[in-house]
Amino acid sequence: MKFLLFKKLLKIRIESKRKLMYKKANDLGFTHPEVVNCSQELDELLNKYSDIAA
């Protein structure tokens, strides 16, 4: 049960980070350091999700 809850929470965090990244990219431009940082954080979340889904 904990595993499913963790997986669901991770999916929510991924979607939230993705939306934030899109907003920042729209406001600041794709190469702005804040957007790049947000993208890297999203990559980390996606890697975690990939690790537990495998």
pLDDT band of residue 1 (cuts 50, 70, 90) is confident
Q: How many residues does the chain have?
A: 54
At 53, the pLDDT band (50, 70, 90 cuts) reads confident
No. of H helices and E strands in the chain? 2, 0
CA distance 29 to 36: 10
CB distance 38 to 17 below 8 Å: yes
pLDDT tens-digit map of 3-41:
899 999 999 999 999 999 999 999 999 999 999 999 999
